[in-house]
Amino acid sequence: MRFAKFLRTKNCVCLATALLLALTQSAGAQHANQPVDPQLIAADNAFGLNLLSALNQKNGNANAAISPTSIALVMQIVFNGARDATRQAMAQALQLGSLPTRSLNVNNEKLRTSLANPDADVQLTIANSLWIDRKQHPLAPAFVEINKTYYGAHIGDLAGAPNNVNAWVSAATAGLIQNILDAVEPNDVAVIANAIYFKGAWTVPFDPANTHPGEFTASDLTKISCSMMHRHGSFDYFAGADFQILRLPYGRSKRFSMVILLPKADVPLKTFMTRVSAESLRSWLSQLKPASLQVELPRFKVDYGTSLIESLSALGMGVAFDPQHAQFPGIAAGVYLSKVEHKAVIQVDEAGTTAAAATIAVPSVTSFSRPIAMAMDHPFFYAIADGETGALLFMGSLDKPS
């Protein structure tokens, strides 16, 4: 039953969701001889784990569910427009290292292509969009072209936001996420959005007849009643000194899987997660071997949504959200990021897993107002005033300049 005690811990779903898409290994890209650069995959995985840790620090023991792939794509699109200190801070937070920008974009295109139509029993869609105001807030043409060329972005009209953005996200996530953008402010120059939808059938489903009432012990030792699914079979498995790892595959090809890390009952999940990095996880997964197991897994559904500004700032890119110091001339003049919102939904049952996530970033200008015309081309009054006392030291009227 220790397996059951982990899987409904108030933090457990966040790891399952993060791993669901972030740990997908891309077998090929647009062509079989053009694989996705492992440096990009490693960067996205490391960024996702770091962000999840930051969110857990923010949320305490509450559930967290994110799609690192969705968030990384939006942030990397924004990264194209960053310069100088802002660019350096984002590269550090996103774990990009020395990856050139063109390579970043090309490999994101390869990743997106590779993940299309992956398995007969798996639905996976990744969509990007850019919503712009061509009249009052024109973006740098090169930035718009990058969105279209490498990210396949739909280019929409910001004038219809937030309704058209929310409708696009809802359609791209099969209705699981319907409202991610509450409003568009006058200073907002664009909305950059990503949506991911995943629906995968277990390679071997759980028999509903073997689902029984169970009990789950949360981090605060609260006992929670749940529906516990049961299945006996051969699974890829590894046991460490104080944890176990299980891989539950989806579809016919088994390309996708849910990876579950179960610490011992006396090891707090938050403590254990401090040891989980992209490197340690890769090492543990390389040691998986088939084993005969009796698996108990609760049915669950998690809806999660949050602003990412605080957590991304904790990772070192706070300058991107500072109106006075952010540098995004590659997007538009005077731009900073005013919003980064993320929502995720994950549902696990006997048949498989349905998951969706959406991320938006909103570049804004520090201030925007139409210039008021004041041409001193006819007679006017003038004064020289003392700002401290209000005294008018000089005054006059000008009828004819000389």
Domains (ranges, CATH) in the chain?
A: 2-200+300-365 (3.30.497.10), 208-298 (2.30.39.10)
What are the angstrom distances between the C-alpha of 345 and each of 13, 28, 62, 303, 354?
10, 27, 15, 5, 8
Q: What is the three-class DSSP state of 193?
A: strand
- Exposure string for 44-82, b = 16+ CB within 10 A, e = fewer: bbbbbbbbbbbbbeebeeebbbbbbbbbbbbbbbbbbbb
Q: Where are the alpha helices (DSSP H) in 173-312?
A: 269-273, 278-285, 309-312
Residue with more model confidence, 117 or 50: 50
pLDDT tens-digit series, residues 148-203: 999 999 999 999 999 999 999 999 999 999 999 999 999 999 999 999 999 999 99
CA 313 – CA 332 distance, rounded (Å): 22
Residue with more model confidence, 157 or 375: 157
pLDDT, residue 63, reads 79
254-258, 280-284, 299-303, 310-314: range with highest mean pLDDT: 310-314
pLDDT, residue 179, reads 95
Residue 26 pLDDT > 70: no
Find the radius of gyration of the CA atoms of the chain.
26
The amino acid at 98 = S
pLDDT, residue 30, reads 38
Average pLDDT over residues 337-364: 95
Residue 275 pLDDT > 70: yes
Residue with more model confidence, 64 or 369: 64
Residue 4 pLDDT > 50: no
pLDDT tier at 364, thresholds 50, 70, 90: very high
CA 167 – CA 373 distance, rounded (Å): 39
Q: Which residues contact 286 (CB under 8 A, 6 or more apart)?
A: none
68-72, 184-188, 366-370: least confidently modelled range: 366-370
Percent share of the chain, pLDDT over 90: 61
Q: What is the mean pLDDT of the chain?
A: 85
pLDDT tens-digit series, residues 290-329: 999 999 899 889 999 999 999 999 999 999 999 999 999 9
pLDDT tier at 384, thresholds 50, 70, 90: low
CA 207 – CA 198 distance, rounded (Å): 22
59-73, 98-112, 122-136, 248-262: least confidently modelled range: 59-73
What six digits make up the tokens of 197? 């939808």
Q: Which residues contact 148 (CB under 8 A, 6 or more apart)?
A: 155
Residue 358 pLDDT > 60: yes
pLDDT, residue 8, reads 39
pLDDT, residue 102, reads 96
CA 260 – CA 70 distance, rounded (Å): 21
